Every structure is written in structure tokens, then in C-alpha cells.
Structure 1
Amino acid sequence: MAIRVENNVFYLETAHTLYQMKADNFGVLQHLWYGPKTDCCMDYLLDYPDVGFSGNIYEAGDQRAYSLNTMPLEYAAGGVGDFRVPAVCVTHEDGSRALDLRFREYHIKNEKYNIPGLPAVYADASEAETLEILLKDTASQVEVILKYGVLSETDVITRSVVIRNQGDTPILINRVHSLCLDIPYGDWEWVHFHGRHTMERQAERAPLIHGIQESSSTRGTSSHQQNPAVLLCEKGCTETSGFCIGAALMYSGGFQTQIERDQLDQVRVVMGVNPDTFAWTLSAGRCFYAPEVILSCSDHGMGELSHHFHNLIRNHVCRGKYKLSKRPVLINNWEATYFDFDEEKIESIAKQASELGIDMMVLDDGWFGKRDSDTSGLGDWFVNETKLQGGLNRLVERINRMGMKFGLWFEPEMISEDSELYRKHAGWAIRIPGRNPTRSRSQLVLDMSNPEVVEYLYQAMSKVLSENHVEYVKWDMNRSICDWYTPTLPNSRQAELPHRYILGLYSLLERLTHDFPDVLFEGCSGGGGRFDAGMLYYCPQIWCSDDTDAHERSFIQYGTSFFYPISAVGSHVSAVPNHQTGRTTSMRTRGTVAMAGSFGYELDLNTLDRQEKEEVAGQVTRYKEYQSLIYNGLYYRLSNPYEENLSVWSFVSKDQAEVLVQGIVFRASSNSLRPRIRLAGLAADDSYMVPGEERVYTGRALMSGGILLPDIKGDDVSIEFTLKKAGYSEGSPKF
């Protein structure tokens, strides 16, 4: 069994890791260990002195060394003598805010728990077990249920929390984090993923300072600026060696990750819904369900940790027809036409695309309502027959006759003031009475906490999807949210709106993905502004960034790869000069970078010359050849683009027989040695060959000594080659 209990010590074991905690004599649930298996109870490490100004629980009497302020706790509450960042805070009816949680009971279940209304990791009963630990406040009827899902073979543990009010009066939840992890020893650094629109998930690694460091969003989305995922690494940890811990929140709204290094150099990590945009009135007899955190660790470096998350997200987060299957190569008209298109223009792009082997035509913004710019039309999800005079169905049929699938862009959560929907239902937009609303991209936000809004969107979207052969939906969301207010809640409960918004969004996504199982849904929020595990539960791929420049995309995709699988990364070849940066890179380079994801194009193919069109056709062919390896192989980061003059990655088949190496060298340098990279994940004792070359390399040589890259001429030059085991044949199994 993955979960066992001995003398009030809880052992959660995966294939290679141990998570351990203990209910002590006072009922305090102490955290003991998270790391490699030890075959031992780790409570011998808890040897604390009497630390000045660290108070003691009443029951401890004269045991001045026993303090909640110093010991590692499994789930820390505020107001009772632990002055570090808390995981949970509540306000009782009498105004007090103390919560003294003590162990009461536990249950083990031979299944993975789920969470009402929220996305969660799923698994068969043979793949996962659940531990539930009940903690109860010593002076009130507040209970906290800690939930742990143990997926042994994936080396992943999930965490979630339920707050239950068993009293007769309401309580106010001020703060509830899903993860609380105390780490008593170690010299730690953290990696977070910051950014901005068109430059998301920039990896930043820094030593932990004494005090609190934070990664968070109050924008109503997980945001471009920070991502709800974090790494803790022991100093010296690399891609292939050293110990590291990763945590990712399955939530698409405002979040908070806080890491505190305390007076004893201990580290506490808390992660969950951002308390700056959250409070929840919990009535008597009701429960609040917090979102889930995915947790994993590795003592073989960050590369192995990434594999844990890639495997878990692909197999136990993504769902539906496309979670593991090949995806169509698509072309999107946005950067080719923006709002200026008609049937003829879209059909001409599709015709050229079909001749080059592209599988799907996606019609982006501007097909609906009165939509000739970003100032009108959002919310009116019916066809603009001024542009599409034959209606959407005729256009879809014509594109289908070309042998192509058809996809469509929606921005369901938004509303334009110049729209029929706003004129009928202005009260459906989020805005504070008596204040002018904040516009962004000339649009307001629909109140997704309102069931009428969710029902309208379901009916409008399902009508379009039912009446037309649409096989792909790009779900966009193009602004941050403020002006939080809804007439559906009393004034005293307005702080609940940001979370209720996300619950409404998830309910709509759940209905649509269930009722249209053959549609591939792709998430988007101005590109990568909502790239999180919560959205991947509904959308198996997400548009990685609105920045399609190959040079910058190599940095964006590098940061994305630490937690999110390559199959989830929407990535396209676009026109040059690039529309975001003005940079010009070769078609080959653009194709190489875009292939490290769910591949497509974002340009007017009719503007290309004959040689470029031939190159596009070749890229499509190669991608379809490599797609199984790209999706199912193990992904390795072979360089750090922030520190080196190149960004190189590889995909290795699980039998280690086939390797695809891709990358980009940023700048040429005269009179210098050829670049060298060390490969990873090969069979050390086997031999490898580059197809078409006679030279044979051992796997050990390629991983230790590396391989020389071609002599580079020019800037932003692409690298792409394959290696195969000596004796490998195309008919050999790969996975």
C-alpha cells in the first residue's frame, strides 16, 4: 500500500519518495519528512531548543522547548503562537481569529478523491489512494480535513483542504491555502516564473532571503506576470543532479505562493487562493473546498522533476479525445488578416494550407456580431453575415471539402458595451455601482458567478457548435479583472466573487467539454496569461504566448517546460518581420522552435514564395513524423538560454532508441570553437548514429563529452537532427 500508519506516524510512499507526518501527544500534526525513501521514522530530527519569544501551547506546561513557532507543522493556522505565514485563518462570530487545530481521526480510501466544482487529478483505484486527516479546533466547531492523493508510480502527491463549519453560526474564512510544507533543513533556492504579456514564464532562480518571498496574482487569472507553480532547489541542484521539490496549483484565478525562511533557517511554503482577493462566509453545516496542489520531488535534478509533472498532467489532468492523441496541424488567420477578412480571403488561406498538408483552418476574432475592431461585438455569439455572407455553415462545408477541419475563436467571458447583449443585460457586466468601470482592450467582463450568464453562454456557444461542423475551439480571455462586484451577493459577501467567478468558468467548461467530446478546446488568455494545470483539465493545450518570435519563444517555452508537457504548448510559425518584435528569422528557425509544442501557422501562406511554401510542406511532414516522439518522449532541457548562447532541447523515446535534438543558436561568433552540447537520457552502454553519417557514438560519450554542433553562420540559426540506436529500424517499438 502507498499509505500506512504506525503509532500515529503517517507514511505516504511513492515509487521513489516518502512523505511523512506525525500526530504527537498533544494532537499537533507535525511534518517530518518529504524526500527520498528512508525506511525510517524521521522524528529524530525534531530536536528544538527553547527559542526566545516562541510561546508554548497550554498543555505543554513547562516544556518551553515545545513551540508551534519553531517546529515543522503539517498545516499551520493563525492566531495561536506560530508567527510564520499561516495556511489558514478564520474569523469567528465573536471576532476572534485563533484556530488551534488538533488531530482527531484519519481515513484511508482505495481511490483518488475529487473536489466538487473544481478540477482535480484523477486516477483509477489501482493507481491512487487517498488519505484524509481530520483536524479540529480546540475551542470551536471548525474542522479542517486534509486530503492527500498518492499516485505511487508517478511519484506525485496531491494536496487539498476542506473547511467544515460544524457550529451553529457562520465563520469567515480569511485565508485558506491548499499546501503547507515545512522544511527544517537545507540551503535552498527558489525558481519562479515571472513575465508580462508576450513574455511569459521567465525562469528566475534566487537564494531564499530571511523573511517572506512571494509569487502571486490578484488579476482574476493566474496571469502573465506570475505562474502558479514554484520550484525549491538545494543549492547546486542542476538538470541532472541534486534535490528539488515542485508544486503546481490547479487553479486559474488569483493565487498566492509564499515562501518564508525563518529565524532558524527553516523554510515554509504555502500555496493557494490569494487572500488579497478572497474571503468566504461559511454558514453553519457547510463546507468550503480549496483547489488542489500537485506536489513532487526528485533527488536527480530538475529534469526528472519535470518528467514527473509532464507525465502526471498528460495522463491524470488532461482529459478527453485529445489528451494523448495526435493533434491537427492548424493555421490561424489572426496575424494574416486581423479583423479584415471575408469568406474569400479565409478560403484562399485554407486552400493554400490544404495543398501544403495542414490539417485545420481556424477562424479567429471577428466572425460574430458587429465586430470590425476590438471595441464592439463581444457577447453576441452569432455569425456576422456581412463578412460571411453565406453564413458560417457554408464556409465550414467548403473548408471541409478541401480535406481540412475547421476551428473557431471565442472569448466567452467578455462583453463589449457596444453589443446587443450589453444593451439587453448591462447588469451582467462586472462593475461597482456608482463607479465608472475600468476598461481593458475596450471590453468589460461578464459576471461568471451569475448562473444566468453561464446559461446564456452555454446556449449561445452550443448552438454554434451544434449547427456547424466545428472541431476546435480557441477559448480566449483578454484582460485582467478588477471592479469586483455582483448584485447576486449581499454587500458583506462581495469578497467571494473572484472565487465564484472561477467556479462559474469551470462549470461552463465542464458542460461544453462533456457535451462536445470531439472538439479540441485550446485555452488562451492574451496568449499565456492563464497557463495553469486547472485550465489543462478542460483544454489539453494552451496558446503559449502571443509572442511568436522564435528567438523570444525559446525563452518562453523553456520556462513553460519545467511543469507543463510539450503537448500542452500551442506554438506557431508566424510572418516576418515578427509582429511583436520586428525581428526577422528564417522559416527553418521559426519551424524548429514551433515544433516543440502543438504545431501550427499564423500567417497568410499566399504571401510566401515557392521555396518558402516547399519549406512549409517539409515542416508539416517532419512534424507529423516526429509528433509521437515530441508528445510521448521524455523532454530534456540541454542548455540554459539565460546563461548560454543557445537554447537546445531533446526528445528521447522511452525505449531510448530514438532521439530528436532541436534548438536555436542566438549569435554567431567569429574565430571560435564549434558549440557543444551534452545529451541526456540515453542508454549509456548502447551505440547511436546520426542518420546519414557513418560515425558511431556511445550513449555515455554523448552524455559526458557531448556532440559538436555545426559551424554556425548568422544569428538565430536553428539546430535539428536525430540520433538512433545502432541497429534501430523504423518498425521498432518506440514507446
Structure 2
Amino acid sequence: MRKKVLSILFFLIVVAHTAVRSETIQITTNETALVLQTASNGRLYQLYLGPRLRNVNDYTNLVPGMKSKTDGQAWEAYPVSGTETFFEPAFGIRHNDGNLTTVLQYVSHNVKKISDDVTETEIVLKDQLYPVQVKLFYRAFAKDNVIEAWTEISHKEKKPVNINNYASSMLYWKRSGYYLTEFSGDWAKEVNMSTVPLSFGKKMIDSKLGSRADLHVSPFFTVGLGEKPAEDHGEVLMGTLGWTGNFRFTFEVDNENNLRVISGINPYASDYTLDPGKTFTTPSFIFTFSTRGTGKGSRDLHSWARNYRLKDGHGDRLTLLNNWESTGFDFNETKLDSLMVETKYLGVDMFLLDDGWFANKFPRKDDTQGLGDWEPTKSKLPNGVPALVKAATREGVKFGIWIEPEMVNPKSELFEKHPDWVIMLPNRERYYYRNQLVLDLSNPAVQEHVFNVVDHLMTENPQLAYFKWDCNSPITNIYSSWLKDRQNNLYVDYVRGLYKVLDRIKAKYPDLPMMLCSGGGGRTDYEGLRYFTEFWCSDNTDPVERLFIQWGYSQFFPAKSMAAHVTSWNHAASIKFRLDVAMQCKLGFDINVKELRPEEQEFCKSAVATYNRVKNIIFEGDQYRLVSPYEGNHTSLMYVGGSKQQALLFAYDIFPRFGESLLPVKCQGLDPEKKYRVREINLMPGASPAAAFNDKVYSGDYLMKVGLDVFSTNKMHSRILELTAE
């Protein structure tokens, strides 16, 4: 007992000492500074967030964003519920004794260098009265001007506690006004951009869909600080959450026009039960602050993603031909063999077999059955997947395959054998989304099963080159027979179970390319992209719609992570227009090649060769969005290589008005001192390039200040220009 008393006294002495010591913590990139400071009460506050000051001593002149420590206006770095926090908290807890309050005080911090360009700051906060600890982490990427923030929550109480708020990040701003750009939509109409002013009160962007979390709203946003977000000027905060599950962003403007931005997992139906000695790690909130608009912010995020987050970020990507639009579920070995011949003819790298190749007791003839039974259908594929891999190898192309291993049809052998593996209510009528249910990835047995789907295919077919990993259903009928009395942990533990599977796959098959698909863009986050080389933007491949969809995703993701296929969704659009749109990103085809006219087939072949020649500029270059499709009847963007020796300019006329007045497109990112030869590329056989500027030489200065007349009044017309320094 005496030892316990002495320990408590020692702890209180340490806390008391901490309370009077002022600490200033600087988290900086080459351009941005986030400065935190302790106050006399021992708690940690945000002192500054904005452009990095040249002289570090200037931060001492800043006035903290708080009037006093007790009036509810304090800019606390990680505010808790139940104290003088009058606004939305970052953290909430129910202790063993039922108390709902925790006061977190600064204990220590540590800064370590991860690399020459990356530093990580760890800040330890603890409660005086309860054995609860929160660690704040900030990883700063100096050159890419990106900061990653997350928290670790742990405790040593005698019994489990419940945490009901557990944000990854809390940021504060003081500006004259705020404008939020959000990205909303649905199946086949993803990432619609809209901007609204933020005024007094709260605005939340959140998802409650569990597995296919991004169906209606995407896990990223832009806030214009002082004015609406603009492409080339103004202050903007651009943020995204690395979490393949429910998310929530809260934007709260208080009575003094301060803005609080809280980011993290959505705590909806997820007041998490945390055992003593265990650590709850939140996902990363990834953000950049730009003083030169969203264009600069996007380029920083693209560079960061290639350097640090996207799987094989600087590697190549496989062009492909998918069978879905040619065959649907109706195929056999003979049909697939002929498509592999077409794959070789086009000059793409790989043939991708989509849905419909599996199940025998309930053969996969449509989407009502078979999902979960991952053996080839003998009537369709009597020689299994190995015969298909061999056929592709004979043609000199690679072979990839579609799977949806997290899901199950009730009409399947898997469901018959393991109904306890499925998330579903035991006492109510089931609701089916796309005739399927979700497997319970919180269960280790299910994790093993899902891993084995991939492992078996790879063990049997070591030359298998690619997986398209789909996820078509949100979590419905939410109940886990595995978690029993901890149903509130399901939304979180499902995602963690998914990551455990993906970690095992990545460890065993580190070089295996995979596409992250979810009925289109239902999963678009940077934690998922640790494991996937690219994501499927949308099932909508109409090139006109794709111009908007790809524009939206480009705000946060580099071109090489965005899969874009040439299809027959819009027959009114020429094959050239469709190809020119898809070539902005990672190119693929999902089209019946034999239905194309001979000159169209020839064009596709030449376009693939052109794409292979210039794709490194698209994959590794800086992207500049020049003319927004939201602002008129035309759109344009360009990619500039790192040395500024080469660039590609894409220009599209969507539905221009008759006799419309056209303006030149001004380039960006070029070297004003260099001379660039301009050539139109990717032309249809027999077509002539634009005589007005083709094969002419211009200074970079001219191209950026005067520009080129690349638009026309032709509907669904497109041009790609290659700029080469001489």
C-alpha cells in the first residue's frame, strides 16, 4: 500500500512539474508549419498552422488560439469530452467507474528522423486520475509538403473501457471565411465536386456503409481558406483519410468564426471496447496546405503517393484487355482463347478474366449465385485456370483474374457450410445488396479463407500476373456471431481483418499488381492503396462522364493509380475520343475488338504503341489541370516531365455551342527559357494534324503566357499534343 501511495505521489509530482514547463513543438515541411505549445495547465494547444516562417524565433511572437484556459475557446490539440470543451471533441471515453471525462496533459515528446526527407514527432499525453494514455503522431514529408497525423490510445484500467470518439486529427484555422469542396455521388456517378460556404455550426461528411464505404461520398475534401478553392491561387487545405471503412470529417465554425476540422473513423455504432494493455491505433489523416491553390496541393499529394504510399509507386503498370463487355457471364475456354489472341493483336500487356469463372454446385451464370465458391466452373473451364494461363503465355501476354473474396451469395456452398462466417442478423429478415452478403473479416477463420482464395490461385498458377479485387456490397444486416457481446467493434475490426489479409498477401507476393475495385469507386483511400497498384474509378466508362470523374479523382490521386478503360458505353463518341480520355490514366480496354471497323482496330493498335512510348510522362510527370469541365464545354490538362524536357497536353471539346468563342489554352509547368516543338499525336489513320501549330517551335514562355488554340466547336472531339524541348 505504501508503495502504491508513493507511486501516486511521484506521478503527481511529475505532472505538476510538467504543468509549469512550457514546450513548443514544431512539425514542419519545407513549406508548412504546424506548431503546438503547452500551457500552464499542462495541456497541449495548436499555436500555428500555415506557411512555414523562415526564422523559427518568429513563432514566439504568435498569440495562441485561445483566450483563456477555461472559456471553451482553447485550440487544444486533442480535446476531450466532458471538460470545458464546448465544441466537438476529438476524444471521448467511458471509464470503468462510468466517468465520461478525461483530461489529457503533456508528458513528453520525441522527434526522430525516418529519412533525410521525413521526420516523425511523437507526443505523449496522459490523464492524471486514470491510467489512460494518448500518443499523437505527426509524420512530415519535407519535399512533398504533406503531413500525416494519427493517434494511439491505450489504458491500464482493470476492465475494458469504451472509447466513443477517437479522431485521427484536429486542426484549427482563423480566416475571414471558409469554403468546402466535397466529392459526392453514387454508382456510376462518382466524385461530383460541389463547393459550399461553411458558416456557424457543424457540417459533417461521413459514411456508414462499412465495406463499400465510398459509395455516396469520398473520403477526401478541400477547404478554401478565405476564398473559394481555386486551381492556381489561394490558400487551401486538402485532406484525406487512409481508411477502407466508415469515415467522418467534421467542419465546425464556432461563435468567433474559428474553424475546427476533425478527421477520423466514423464512431457511428462503433463505441469501441478496448481491453487493458491493448492499443487502438487510428488511421492516418493525410493533408497538405497550399498557398497556390488546389493544383499545387494535388501535385504534392501525387508526388507523396508515388514516393511513400501507392504500392509500387514508381513502377510500371500493365495495359490490359478485359472480357466483361464482350462476354458477360457467357464464355468458355474457346471464347477466352480468342480474346487472348485479340489481346496480343492490340499490343496490350495482359488479358483480364472478369466475373463468372467459378462455382460448380451453383455455377456462376449470373450475380445471384456461386459467389464464395472459388473453384473454376467445369462446364465452362474444364481445364481450369492453369489452361488459361498457358493459353495467355502462348500468345505472349500475361493473365489476370477477377475475385470478390469478401462476399458470398446465399446460394453457394460456402454459405451452406459456414453461415456463421457471414455478417447477418440472427433474428430478422435479411436484406441483400446485389444478391449477396458480407463475410465477417473480424473472424480469423474468415481471414484465413480469404487469404487462401488468393494463395491457392497463386500457388496453382505462379505466372498469374494480376488480380482485380472487387467488393460490391456495403455491410448490411450488421451482426457478428464471432464478436458476440462486442458488436460495436464490428465496423472497425472488419477493416482491420481486411488489412491482416492484405498484409499476408503483400508479404508473400510483394510484386503482385492488384486493382482495388468496389462496384466502381466504392473504395478510394490511401490505406487500401498500400496494397493495390491502382483503383477502378467507376463502372461508368462513358468518356464524357469519365472526364468529370477523372478530374475529381485527380485532385488527390496520381494518374497511374487510376484505371481507365476504353469501352462501348457511348457509341456516339469516336474511338479516338474514348482512347484520348482513357490515356489520361492507366490504360485498358473492355471492348469487343471484332466489332470495331478495320481502321478503328488499326488506330487502337497504334494508340497502345503511342501510350507505351509516352506513359512515363503521365505516370511520373507533374499534372496541371488547365480548363475545368465544370466551367464550360471544354476541358484540358497536361503532364510535364520532371526535367521539363517533355510534356503532354490533352484537350477535349465536350458539347460546345454553335459558333462559340474559343480561347487559347495556356500551358503550365514548362521552362520559360526552353524551346518546345509541338506535335499532335494519337491520330486516326489518314487524319492530318492541326496545321495551325503542328511541328512548330514555341518558347515555354509563349506557351504559358499566350497558349495554343487547341479547342474546336466539334462535339466530343479531342487532341493530344506532345511538347519536346529542343
Indicate whether the TM-score tops 0.5: yes
Q: How does 1:661-700 map to 2 (within 5 A)?
A: 661-691=649-679, 693=694, 695-700=696-701
Identity among equivalent pairs (%): 32
**Residues 222 and 251, structure 1, Cα contact 8 Å, conserved in 2:** no
Alpha-carbon offset, residue 47 of structure 1 = 6.9
Alpha-carbon offset, residue 138 of structure 1 = 3.4
For 1:29, the equivalent position in structure 2 comes to: 44
Is structure 2 residue 130 aligned with structure 1 residue 130?
no
Letter aligned with residue 465 of structure 1 = M
Q: How does 1:595-634 map to 2 (within 5 A)?
A: 595-634=583-622
Deviations 1:369-414 (A, max 9, x none): 1100001111111111110122221121011110110000000000
Q: How does 1:376-391 map to 2 (within 5 A)?
A: 376-391=369-384
* Helix, strand or coil at the partner of 2:496: helix
Alpha-carbon offset, residue 460 of structure 1 = 3.1
Paired with 1:711 and 1:305, the residues of 2 have a C-alpha distance of 30
Paired with 2:141 and 2:65, the residues of 1 have a C-alpha distance of 31
- Structure-1-length-normalised TM-score: 0.90
Q: How does 1:58-207 map to 2 (within 5 A)?
A: 65-67=68-70, 69-111=72-114, 125-207=115-197
Is structure 2 residue 419 aligned with structure 1 residue 422?
no
Q: How does 1:542-621 map to 2 (within 5 A)?
A: 542-575=535-568, 578=569, 584-621=572-609
Letter aligned with residue 703 of structure 2 = L
Alpha-carbon offset, residue 224 of structure 1 = 2.1
Is structure 2 residue 269 aligned with structure 1 residue 268?
no
Paired with 1:584 and 1:604, the residues of 2 have a C-alpha distance of 16
- Structure-2-length-normalised TM-score: 0.92
For 1:731, the equivalent position in structure 2 comes to: none
Paired with 1:7 and 1:84, the residues of 2 have a C-alpha distance of 25
Deviations 1:126-171 (A, max 9, x none): 3322211111123322111101112222211111101111222321
Letter aligned with residue 684 of structure 1 = P
* Helix, strand or coil at the partner of 1:625: helix
**Residues 136 and 142, structure 1, Cα contact 8 Å, conserved in 2:** yes
For 1:659, the equivalent position in structure 2 comes to: 647
Q: 1:177 to 1:685 in 2, by over 3 A?
A: same
Is structure 2 residue 461 aligned with structure 1 residue 471?
no
For 1:14, the equivalent position in structure 2 comes to: 29
Alpha-carbon offset, residue 720 of structure 1 = 1.2
Q: 1:523 to 1:25 in 2, by over 3 A?
A: same
Paired with 1:48 and 1:10, the residues of 2 have a C-alpha distance of 17
Alpha-carbon offset, residue 186 of structure 1 = 4.0
For 1:717, the equivalent position in structure 2 comes to: 717
Paired with 2:391 and 2:424, the residues of 1 have a C-alpha distance of 42
Is structure 2 residue 497 aligned with structure 1 residue 504?
yes
Alpha-carbon offset, residue 33 of structure 1 = 1.4
Following superposition, which runs of at least 4 residues in structure 1 exceed 6 angstroms of deviation?
Answer: none
Alpha-carbon offset, residue 694 of structure 1 = 5.4
* Helix, strand or coil at the partner of 1:200: coil
For 2:7, the equivalent position in structure 1 comes to: none
**Residues 72 and 183, structure 1, Cα contact 8 Å, conserved in 2:** no
For 2:18, the equivalent position in structure 1 comes to: none
Is structure 2 residue 424 aligned with structure 1 residue 431?
yes
Q: 1:660 to 1:42 in 2, by over 3 A?
A: farther
Letter aligned with residue 261 of structure 2 = V
For 1:520, the equivalent position in structure 2 comes to: 513
Is structure 2 residue 250 aligned with structure 1 residue 249?
no
For 1:230, the equivalent position in structure 2 comes to: 221
Is structure 2 residue 479 aligned with structure 1 residue 481?
no
Q: 1:217 to 1:236 in 2, by over 3 A?
A: closer
For 2:13, the equivalent position in structure 1 comes to: none
**Residues 228 and 249, structure 1, Cα contact 8 Å, conserved in 2:** yes
Q: 1:630 to 1:163 in 2, by over 3 A?
A: same
**Residues 141 and 166, structure 1, Cα contact 8 Å, conserved in 2:** yes
Paired with 1:187 and 1:556, the residues of 2 have a C-alpha distance of 28
Paired with 1:161 and 1:47, the residues of 2 have a C-alpha distance of 22
Paired with 1:96 and 1:43, the residues of 2 have a C-alpha distance of 39
Paired with 1:528 and 1:618, the residues of 2 have a C-alpha distance of 29
Deviations 1:411-447 (A, max 9, x none): 0000111111111111111111111221011011100
RMSD of the TM alignment (CA)? 1.7
**Residues 201 and 224, structure 1, Cα contact 8 Å, conserved in 2:** no
Alpha-carbon offset, residue 194 of structure 1 = 0.8
**Residues 349 and 606, structure 1, Cα contact 8 Å, conserved in 2:** no
**Residues 405 and 453, structure 2, Cα contact 8 Å, conserved in 1:** no
Paired with 2:346 and 2:428, the residues of 1 have a C-alpha distance of 53
Paired with 2:571 and 2:201, the residues of 1 have a C-alpha distance of 42
* Helix, strand or coil at the partner of 2:62: helix
Alpha-carbon offset, residue 514 of structure 1 = 1.9
Paired with 2:328 and 2:314, the residues of 1 have a C-alpha distance of 32
Paired with 1:140 and 1:259, the residues of 2 have a C-alpha distance of 30
Letter aligned with residue 719 of structure 1 = R
Q: How does 1:631-650 map to 2 (within 5 A)?
A: 631-650=619-638
Alpha-carbon offset, residue 68 of structure 1 = 5.5
Alpha-carbon offset, residue 22 of structure 1 = 0.3
Q: Which runs of 5+ in 1 are unaligned?
A: 1-5, 50-64, 112-124, 728-735
Alpha-carbon offset, residue 598 of structure 1 = 1.1
Paired with 2:478 and 2:378, the residues of 1 have a C-alpha distance of 35
**Residues 471 and 518, structure 1, Cα contact 8 Å, conserved in 2:** no
Q: 1:129 to 1:668 in 2, by over 3 A?
A: closer
Q: Which moved more, 1:269-278 or 1:406-415?
A: 269-278
**Residues 305 and 313, structure 2, Cα contact 8 Å, conserved in 1:** no
**Residues 260 and 267, structure 1, Cα contact 8 Å, conserved in 2:** yes
**Residues 381 and 461, structure 1, Cα contact 8 Å, conserved in 2:** no
Q: 1:694 to 1:527 in 2, by over 3 A?
A: closer
Q: 1:16 to 1:286 in 2, by over 3 A?
A: same
**Residues 566 and 579, structure 2, Cα contact 8 Å, conserved in 1:** yes
**Residues 222 and 237, structure 2, Cα contact 8 Å, conserved in 1:** yes
For 1:408, the equivalent position in structure 2 comes to: 401
Paired with 2:321 and 2:469, the residues of 1 have a C-alpha distance of 16
